[in-house]
């Protein structure tokens, strides 16, 4: 297309409120400068303990300032991308590229096959030519239960896909659609729902039985593969093409073609490291390149079903834009969830991060790759260096499918998913997803950008993908421990954005990675601020200016304006006031537990005392836990060192508040000198007590199974009393 006739396939829109944000940020920076002046000018000249306590608090405040600076940089110029899919259809018609979709699962107990089936069916039903779609399931659990579920999905897709097309179904996950539909549309609707319910019942019955009945095993040759499986960590490559989209007989009940559907359980042997999800993704990249070789790859987790059937076309509006599309390596959709409570009890929505911070990274060179809901350019994912004036011939890329029969492809592709294939190759280093760090997706995206590519962020009004958020506090904390540990590993490795991206990516983008990479590092300053002011209050050592002093103004201003602006942002992003309170509470819980464990686990790994592990988060909960989750009661019903820390910190601040209130009452006859001298410290303790109200409820008042275990209650009281005693005497 001639440049003079160029019409963009998407537009870029600045986020509203940028000027207001910058003014607030400037005023907060001014307040921070006055706080630093106060800490330097009023350095205590008393005892050694007082001086070191003051220095510790000053260093904590400096850390918060540095972290705030990184966050502000990442959000300084946020943008949104708005695709025009009508222009895409008019311009390219039937010359749309093939799309390979990767779905990853690893454990049939924590990630039930019925859930995996719904994700697979949802991406099979995209509003896209089915002959150009190829869906690959990576089953790292090597489970015949998951394989059976995929057979059921292949059969049900013959009915489900034409049904979705006819009624323009959204979302295209059967479970989600029938759960949210208000009433039957017609007789066909009832018939399809019955077929789905019957399929779901068969899958769940087989899963509960934990074995495949003999009469089912005889129905498909693929089950013979499990005769040679020793365990899920010791088995050969299992590869089955369940639907061959090139076969003219692979049609639905209306006679229309079906997408290709492939099941893969890559080879695993105890003596070979399998590199977790990164290894599974790299095996899929190689196998798919032999079978369908779609130039665009979408990867989703097994619990992230498609909620918007036009997501492919949205992403292609960017990839296929003649002026800006050729430099884009991947397009990241936000990770959103369908099971959040009204007030998001565990703060899982990431509202501000997804609507402002990731959009800020987009303006600075592109968002990070977060491991799911991401469309990749195959060439970029496989290690290609971006070259200036690089242009894509989409028609040429579409003529690369294999000509062999399905049975031949199954055999020839098995070696591509073997344990030894990657030996002495660039896979895991320069090609595919990188190995060696828990959050392999982050360093993979960063390395792609350092090869000259860019990325973009798409957050359409109708969510592209919806997943399952943790329904217990412990699940959430374990998940964030893994994320924070992986990010800190990146910061302390050669992949640190400040070093690895030097002269390769813009400075603002290098800085914008730091707030995420330094999650775990927040634990020390936060723990200091939670513990030390409270103990100093009991000791009678003031750490903040008097209420009557003008120096109190910058402290109050920075704290109040920063939190008030945070509340405003949260409400603007669609949250509630109670949701914001929950978000602040979980923010504190994560910083004092998840980030604390992640920090020290990372240090131990660097010193060689710990090995790399990968903890899956369960995607299902029992009925009582789910009921409490819906009632927005925090689930503490487990014994964990994380809960020991939370309860001890809560009790410590409760005792500190009691001591402060006692001092204020006794001081009432002396014009409240104690309140004047310790006002900010007392306020900090009371705020922390307010945040911890659900912890006190779980420790002393709740009677359900979600209460804090008695052992945790006893330990927290003892530890808190010991700390108070040491501080006072």
Q: Across the chain, how many H-helices and E-strands are there? A: 28, 13
**Cβ atoms 266, 280 nearer than 8 A:** yes
Separation between Cα atoms, residue 383 and residue 387, nearest integer Å: 12
- The active-site residue, picked from 140, 244, 301, 303, is 140
Q: For the chain, state the CA radius of gyration.
A: 28
CA distance linking residue 35 with residue 144, whole number of Å = 62
Catalytic annotation, pick one of 100, 144, 441, 583: 441
Q: How far is CA 589 from the centre of its chain?
A: 18
Count CB-CB contacts under 10 A for residue 110: 14
DSSP for residue 252 = -
Catalytic residue list contains 441: yes
CA 344 – CA 512 distance, rounded (Å): 26
CA dihedral sign of residues 655, 661, 665, 668: positive
Closest CA to 680 of 479, 550, 489, 544: 544
Q: Quick one: how far is CA 324 from the chain centroid?
A: 28
Q: How would you class 52 by CB atoms within 10 Å of its CB: exposed for 0-12, middle for 13-18, buried for 19 or more?
A: exposed
Whether 154 and 243 have beta carbons less than 8 Å apart is answered as yes
Element (H, E) at 100: strand 99-105
Q: How far is 397 from 295, CA to CA, in rounded Å?
A: 6
DSSP E strand boundaries for 218-304:
238-243, 260-265, 296-301
Instruction: DSSP for 383-449, please give it.
Output: TPPP-TT----HHHHTS----S-HHHHHHHHHGGGSSSTTTTSSBTTTBSS--SSTTHHHHHHHHHH
Question: Residue 589 contacts by C-beta under 8 Å, 6 or more apart in sequence?
Answer: 473, 477, 646
With H, G, I as helix, E, B as strand and everything else as coil, classify residue 99: strand
Distance CA 11, CA 317 (A): 10
Q: Token digits for 452? A: 């000259």
* Lookup: tokens for 379: 């060439």
431 within 8 A of 306, measured Cβ to Cβ: no
Cα–Cα distance, 522 to 63 (Å, whole number): 8
Run of H or E including 305:
strand 305-306
Give me the residue label for tokens 């242009």. Answer: 391
The residues near 443 (Cβ < 8 Å, ≥ 6 apart) are 434, 437, 490, 495
- What is d(CA 261, CA 222) in angstroms, rounded to the nearest whole number? 14
Give the Å distances, CA to CA, from 497 to 349, 444, 502, 503, 656. 26, 12, 8, 11, 41
Distance CA 470, CA 449 (A): 31
Annotated catalytic sites, by residue? Answer: 140, 441
């Amino acid at each position: 297309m001639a440049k003079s006739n160029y019409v963009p396939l998407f537009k870029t829109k600045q986020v509203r409120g940028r000027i207001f944000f910058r003014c607030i940020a400037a005023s907060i920076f001014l307040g921070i400068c006055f706080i630093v002046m106060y800490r330097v000018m009023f350095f205590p000249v008393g005892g050694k303990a007082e001086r070191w306590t003051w220095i510790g608090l000053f260093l904590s405040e400096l850390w918060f300032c540095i972290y705030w600076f990184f966050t502000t940089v990442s959000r300084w110029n946020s943008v949104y991308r708005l695709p025009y899919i009508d222009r895409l259809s008019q311009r390219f018609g039937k010359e749309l590229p093939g799309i390979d979709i990767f779905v990853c699962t690893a454990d049939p107990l924590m990630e039930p096959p019925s859930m995996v089936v719904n994700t697979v069916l949802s991406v099979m039903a995209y509003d896209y030519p089915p002959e150009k779609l190829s869906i690959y399931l990576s089953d790292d659990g090597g489970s015949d239960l998951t394989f059976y579920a995929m057979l059921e999905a292949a059969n049900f897709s013959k009915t489900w896909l034409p049904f979705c097309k006819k009624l323009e179904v959204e979302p295209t996950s059967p479970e989600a659609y029938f759960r949210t539909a208000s009433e039957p549309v017609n007789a066909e609707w009832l018939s399809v729902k019955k077929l789905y319910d019957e399929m779901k019942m068969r899958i769940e019955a087989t899963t509960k039985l934990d074995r495949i009945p003999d009469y089912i095993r005889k129905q498909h040759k693929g089950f013979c593969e499990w005769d040679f499986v020793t365990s899920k960590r010791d088995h050969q490559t299992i590869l089955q093409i369940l639907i061959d989209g090139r076969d003219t007989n692979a049609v639905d009940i209306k006679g229309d073609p079906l997408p290709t559907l492939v099941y893969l359980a890559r080879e695993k042997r105890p003596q070979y490291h399998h590199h977790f999800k990164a290894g599974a993704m790299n095996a899929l990249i190689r196998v798919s390149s032999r079978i369908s070789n779609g130039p665009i790859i979408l990867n989703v987790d097994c619990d992230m079903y498609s909620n918007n059937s036009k997501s492919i076309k949205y992403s292609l509006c960017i990839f296929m834009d003649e002026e800006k599309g050729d430099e884009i390596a991947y397009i990241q959709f936000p990770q959103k969830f369908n099971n959040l409570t009204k007030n998001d009890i565990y703060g899982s929505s990431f509202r501000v991060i997804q609507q402002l911070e990731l959009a800020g990274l987009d303006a600075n060179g592109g968002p990070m790759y977060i491991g799911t809901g991401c469309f990749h350019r195959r060439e970029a994912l496989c290690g290609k260096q971006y070259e200036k004036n690089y242009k894509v011939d989409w028609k040429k890329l579409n003529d690369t499918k294999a000509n062999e029969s399905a049975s031949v492809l199954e055999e020839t592709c098995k070696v591509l998913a073997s344990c030894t294939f990657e030996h002495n190759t660039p896979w895991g280093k320069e090609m595919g997803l990188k190995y060696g760090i828990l959050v392999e997706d982050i360093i993979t995206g960063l390395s792609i950008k350092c090869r000259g590519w860019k990325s973009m962020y798409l957050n359409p009004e109708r969510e592209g993908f919806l997943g399952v958020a943790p329904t217990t506090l412990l699940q959430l904390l374990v998940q964030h421990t893994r994320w924070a540990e992986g990010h800190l590993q990146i910061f302390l490795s050669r992949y640190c954005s400040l070093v690895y991206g030097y002269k390769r990516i813009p400075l603002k983008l290098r800085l914008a990675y730091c707030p995420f990479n330094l999650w775990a590092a927040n634990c020390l300053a936060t723990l200091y601020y939670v513990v030390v002011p409270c103990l100093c209050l009991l000791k009678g050592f003031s750490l903040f200016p008097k209420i009557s002093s003008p120096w109190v103004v910058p402290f109050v201003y920075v704290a109040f304006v920063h939190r008030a602006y945070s509340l405003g942002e949260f409400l603007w992003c669609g949250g509630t006031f109670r949701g914001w309170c929950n978000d602040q509470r979980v923010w504190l819980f994560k910083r004092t537990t998840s980030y604390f464990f992640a920090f020290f686990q990372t240090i131990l790994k660097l010193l060689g005392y710990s090995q790399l592990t990968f903890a899956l988060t369960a995607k299902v909960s029992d009925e009582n836990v789910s009921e409490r989750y819906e009632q927005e009661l925090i689930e503490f019903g487990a014994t964990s060192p994380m809960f020991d820390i939370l309860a001890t910190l809560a009790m410590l601040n409760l005792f500190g508040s009691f001591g402060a209130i006692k001092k204020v009452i006794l001081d009432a006859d002396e014009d409240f000198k104690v309140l004047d001298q310790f006002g900010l410290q007392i306020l900090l303790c009371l705020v922390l007590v307010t945040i911890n109200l659900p912890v006190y409820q779980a420790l002393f008042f709740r009677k359900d199974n979600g209460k804090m275990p008695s052992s945790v209650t006893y330990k927290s009281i003892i530890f808190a009393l010991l700390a108070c005693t040491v501080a006072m005497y």
